[in-house]
């Protein structure tokens, strides 16, 4: 017997609702039931809602968020694209350690560190991989 795929909406309570504009944007822009992380952020900015609302709208409509900008999920069968950095600059290591919340680095903080240090987002997730630090609290709610 085949297991039924779990609906993304099931991770939210039945009372959860996303705004009409967010739902319309997700449905309009999703291709083959998928929406990239970058596109979700762009849509959120365009319609003036937090990224979390776009993520909720995607979940409620069973649209997969793919191609995480940190390289953590949505990249085919292997899932993630990021690999551990061969070395981590001391200033990046310090910023990551200072940004930890309950032993993990929140996604938003990873983005901030990248911006503040003039490096790519995947450079930060790659540094985290090398340091054995997990990234948590996806801004879109994917993880």
Does 94 map to a domain? yes
Does 121 map to a domain? yes
Task: Write phi, then psi, for 94 (nearest 5 degrees).
Answer: -65, -45
Does 48 map to a domain? yes
Does 141 map to a domain? no
Does 15 map to a domain? yes
**Residues 104 and 60 reside in one and the same domain:** no
Does 95 map to a domain? yes
Question: Looking at 51, 66, 81, which one is the last position of a domain?
Answer: 66
- Average pLDDT score over residue span 130-140: 98
**7-24: pLDDT as tens digits:** 776 776 666 677 899 999
**78-120: pLDDT as tens digits:** 889 999 999 999 999 999 999 999 999 999 999 999 999 999 9
Tell me which residue range forms the domain holding 110. Answer: 90-136
**21-49: pLDDT as tens digits:** 999 999 999 999 999 999 999 999 999 99
Contact 56, 18 (CB under 8 A): yes
DSSP state of 22: H
Task: Tell if the pTM clears 0.85, that is, is over it.
Answer: yes
Does 73 map to a domain? no
């Amino acid at each position: 017997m085949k297991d039924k795929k779990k609906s993304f909406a099931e991770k939210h309570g039945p009372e959860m609702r996303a705004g009409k504009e967010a739902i319309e944007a997700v449905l309009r822009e999703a291709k083959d039931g998928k929406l990239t992380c970058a596109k979700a952020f762009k849509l959120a900015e365009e319609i003036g809602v937090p990224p979390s609302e776009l993520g909720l709208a995607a979940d409620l409509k069973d649209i997969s968020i793919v191609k995480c900008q940190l390289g953590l999920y949505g990249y085919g069968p292997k899932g993630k694209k990021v690999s551990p950095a061969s070395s981590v600059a001391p200033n990046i290591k310090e910023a990551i350690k200072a940004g930890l919340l309950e032993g993990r680095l929140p996604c938003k903080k990873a983005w901030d560190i990248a911006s503040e240090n003039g490096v790519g987002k995947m450079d930060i997730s790659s540094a985290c991989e090398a340091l054995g630090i997990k990234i948590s609290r996806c801004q879109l709610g994917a993880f």
